[in-house]
Structure 1
Amino acid sequence: MPRTHKHKLGTPFRRHYDPQNLEKALEAVIDGKMSFGQAALVYKIPKTTIFNKYRGLHSDKLGKPCILNAAEEKNIVHAMMTAASFGYPFVRQDLRQFVQMYLDRKGVVVKCFKNNIPGEDWVKAFLKRNPELARRNSENIKRSRAEVTPELINDYFDHLRVTMDGVPPANVINYDETNITDDPAKQKVYVKRGSKHARRILDNSKSSTSVMFAGSGDGELLPLYVVYKSKHLYPEWLQGGPEGTHFNRSSTGWFDGPIFEDWFFKVALPYFRRKDGKKVIIGDNLQSHLSVSVVTECEQNNIAFVFLPPNSTHVCQPLDVAVFRPVKVAWRIVLTEWKKKYRGVMPKTAFPGLLKTLLQKLEPNLAGDIKAGFTASGIIPLNPEKVLKHVTPSQARDAVDDEAMTESFDLIMQRQTLTPEIPNKKRGKKLEVPAGKSVSLKDILPNHQPTETDDIYHPGPSNQEEMESESSEDDDIDAKSDNQRKIDNKITNKIPVTEICDINISDFVIREFIYNDQTKKEKVKQFVAKVAQINDNNNIVVNCLRNYKESKNKFIFPQVSDVNKVALEQVKYRLDSPTITRGVHPLPNFD
């Protein structure tokens, strides 16, 4: 049911009088010119209405009173603003859970709330009653960026104030690189109502090209510097670009140390040499941007090289703050128009021309955007408050008088701030499973054959105590090896293998592997293995085992099978068959 009630046609209105007439009736009663009854007749206002207004009992608010009073709602607004300043703004679900926690701690049960959780209509009415709150799309930032403290920013501006003393805006430049992709991004289109998917045929790829932008404090854009992802450069990739643009390439498509030096000497240094007095260059603190030759040249040309605080480019980098967003928006428009004319992904031959079109589209507002970036980042004019208002405060939150409200706020903030890191981030080995085929345990563990008592594969005990309690020396191969799996030649119960008939499938053998080390000296390693298949041409398929937790006489099959096809000459000895235990399973047939 909607909270904002609308009168239906044919029903009487609540108010049949003009509010100004009510004020005149009150004045007449207060001055003693009329009684309540006379004023009601003259101004056509109910007598009880005039009386209630006179006694202060009349309320301008109609309808049922709010579930939470004004003070409680103001505390909720204060808590939401505090959470947003910490970098953890509430979403609708957070607000509803926060109200539920508060009501539960007060011991209040609201019948119209399900389990004390307010509905969507209450949220809409709450936001309408508190216009100081606004709903906006969030910009997600990493936790490392959120850890930038006011103390770090103040220290940065203390040093910058000394460096910028007496430097005109034209003598200050900020540089930053960005990647320009071949994807025009999503766009709203018109489709049939009820369609679940709105697809648009438009070729795109994941490729991107790095471009170094640099702007001065007075709004001038320096020549661009483009880096392709390629091993070589071709003349067709350099034609038709903006005037003065430089081109380069790298295997990764990003700026490295030598490329950054080339940009500095071809773009930044010529600009500074045209300026008199002290100069300042500001950029992020990447290792590739720190070069002995660059710093030496800066000292010789009276250029101060300034690094931004770590993880703070989203608030301290002028180009990041005010320039790159309009650049990306304009690029999507330019790229979309090009893709409407041509089929396929954007080739590198077309990139310079599109980059020139991009700058032409940005030209009317580009100088103003660059200046706005320096102003918003607090550099020109120097103003730390421009940055501090975007930084998460390090001091504790302001206390709220309501104890239940404070406890609820602490709990909901703990859920967001005390989340643990993801365990076991390793990706592991890629599974070779055809697309569309369901994955089974055999795809992950090829050697596993489930039994009635073993539904889940356990490659081995989870700890040393379990190993000692569930297996013994009789359960494993009666062999000794060092940490490098080299089998001791003094091992007993070894039967030399000279012919193919000396071994059978499922026998445990010692396989010899000969290799050359770094000094090209021939070395020999030995492995315990299990025979999986015997071919007619004296070739044998074996599955090698590994030591269990650096044990010298205990071996298990690895989770990822180590299957090898070897010649008979590499199989030196046959071992007595051990008792099959978990972690040692028969192998499937090999074709």
Structure 2
Amino acid sequence: MRTYEKTPGSRAYHNFTEEQAAEAVRAVQDGMSKKQASRVCKIPRSTLTSRCLGRHTKPQGHPTILSSEEEAIIARTLGVVAYWGFPLTKADIKQIVKKFLDKKGIVIPILKDNLPGDDMVALFIQRNNLSVRMASNIKRSRASVDQYDVNKFFDNIKPALLESTGDHIYNYDETNITDDPGARKFIVPRNCKRVERVQNFSRTAISIMVCGTASGELLPPMVVYKAYNLYENLCVGGPTGTVYRNSPSGWFDANLFEIWFTKILVPHIQRTRQPGMRVVVVGDNLASHFAPNVIRIAQEEDIYLTPFPPNATHLIQPLDVAVFAPMKRTWLVFLDTW
């Protein structure tokens, strides 16, 4: 069988963008040969010749329903409402385009009731540098946190941070994990009405208190089981120095937080503290974290203990934003393997 090598002038470069075409034309105008410009910019030589002669300057493909200016307005609108906390779906974009066409009295024959299809919306997203993302729901109290609250927090903590170093700045946060690996997508026959996977799991959650320094050192965790008794086999296999406790609810209360504070955090501070350095400890503003004994010990050890602004931990809590998400993804992999 005879084979043919694709040359720069063949249909090997038929799928090009307008930016590639414009770049190739500029290269020719700067003195590059059309053959070389075609190969470098990956655009057919015949197309490049037409562009240099001013022919076929319109974008390739079927004309868009809206002009580039009109699409840019819609794209900016999507960005604004997403910033306000009310992002729009693909169905919303379809309705926006339909109402826009109806208002201008334009009827597109290929569209049913002037309503764009999924493929048109996908191309609109691609042309305007948009993306489809999964949105998480937050309460209005969290959404009400503004720039003033965040700036005020950093203004208050700035003097203490200037007297400290990364080894003396601590951030703590608690989270919980379960033995439920969650739902996953599987490949099944199309006529399969119900997809189930046989796998044991429970709804029991295990709370973990995690703390680290700004320089990257991670302290031993404290693990709290939801149980009335703490058995010996539940207290093995953890990192060196891990503290294990139990509670009926499985969550940290004032007593458990005080145990973590006195058995893990304060001993580490006493071992690593350098003379003249300020120790800053930042965490959630839960009432259970500020028991009288904790405040007394913090004053005696000269520890600057400060909480994050209310309802702002999802924005500026380092462990919550940057550590727990990848940690829980890795935990699910371990669960699935086990």
Asked if Structure 1 and Structure 2 have the same fold, meaning a TM-score greater than 0.5 normalized by the shorter chain, the answer is: yes
In the alignment, the residues of structure 2 paired with residue 65 and residue 214 of structure 1 have an alpha-carbon distance, to the nearest angstrom, of 56
Matched, 1:182 2:184: no
Instruction: Show the counterpart of 1:90.
Output: 88
Matched, 1:336 2:336: yes
Greater mean deviation of Cα atoms: 228-237 or 268-277:
228-237
Matched, 1:121 2:131: no
Matched, 1:292 2:292: yes
Structure with greater helix share of residues: 2
Q: CA 1:231/1:155 → structure 2, altered by over 3 Å: closer, same or farther?
A: same
Cα shift readout 1:375-394 (whole Å, capped 9, x = no counterpart): xxxxxxxxxxxxxxxxxxxx
Cα shift readout 1:498-550 (whole Å, capped 9, x = no counterpart): xxxxxxxxxxxxxxxxxxxxxxxxxxxxxxxxxxxxxxxxxxxxxxxxxxxxx
Matched, 1:266 2:263: yes
Letter in 2 for 1:66: T
Instruction: Show the counterpart of 1:414.
Output: none
Letter in 2 for 1:68: L
Shift of 1:92: 0.4
Shift of 1:178: 0.8
Instruction: Show the counterpart of 1:198.
Output: 195
Q: List aligned pairs for 1:30-429, cutoff 5 A.
A: 54=53, 56=54, 58-130=56-128, 132-192=129-189, 194-274=191-271, 275-276=273-274, 277-338=277-338
Q: CA 1:234/1:103 → structure 2, altered by over 3 Å: closer, same or farther?
A: same
Q: CA 1:67/1:336 → structure 2, altered by over 3 Å: closer, same or farther?
A: closer
Aligned-pair identity (%): 40
Q: CA 1:64/1:229 → structure 2, altered by over 3 Å: closer, same or farther?
A: closer
In the alignment, the residues of structure 2 paired with residue 191 and residue 232 of structure 1 have an alpha-carbon distance, to the nearest angstrom, of 43
In the alignment, the residues of structure 2 paired with residue 174 and residue 63 of structure 1 have an alpha-carbon distance, to the nearest angstrom, of 54
SS in 2 for 1:103: helix
Instruction: Show the counterpart of 1:551.
Output: none
5+ unaligned residues in a row in structure 2: which ranges?
A: 1-10, 15-20, 30-44
In the alignment, the residues of structure 1 paired with residue 97 and residue 187 of structure 2 have an alpha-carbon distance, to the nearest angstrom, of 39
Q: CA 1:194/1:311 → structure 2, altered by over 3 Å: closer, same or farther?
A: same
In the alignment, the residues of structure 2 paired with residue 281 and residue 143 of structure 1 have an alpha-carbon distance, to the nearest angstrom, of 28
Letter in 2 for 1:103: L
5+ unaligned residues in a row in structure 1: which ranges?
A: 1-11, 28-43, 339-591
In the alignment, the residues of structure 2 paired with residue 94 and residue 125 of structure 1 have an alpha-carbon distance, to the nearest angstrom, of 15
Computed over aligned residues only, the root mean square deviation of the Cα atoms, in angstroms, reads 2.8
Letter in 1 for 2:313: T
CA contact (8 A) 2:224 2:246 kept: yes
Shift of 1:193: 5.1
Letter in 1 for 2:291: S
Shift of 1:74: 0.7
Aligned residue pairs, count: 297
In the alignment, the residues of structure 1 paired with residue 78 and residue 157 of structure 2 have an alpha-carbon distance, to the nearest angstrom, of 34
CA contact (8 A) 2:206 2:250 kept: yes
SS in 1 for 2:172: strand
SS in 2 for 1:177: strand
In the alignment, the residues of structure 1 paired with residue 104 and residue 188 of structure 2 have an alpha-carbon distance, to the nearest angstrom, of 50
Q: CA 1:235/1:124 → structure 2, altered by over 3 Å: closer, same or farther?
A: closer
In the alignment, the residues of structure 2 paired with residue 235 and residue 128 of structure 1 have an alpha-carbon distance, to the nearest angstrom, of 56
In the alignment, the residues of structure 1 paired with residue 229 and residue 46 of structure 2 have an alpha-carbon distance, to the nearest angstrom, of 89
Structure with the larger RCO, 1 or 2 (CA within 8 Å, 6+ apart):
2
In the alignment, the residues of structure 2 paired with residue 190 and residue 118 of structure 1 have an alpha-carbon distance, to the nearest angstrom, of 30
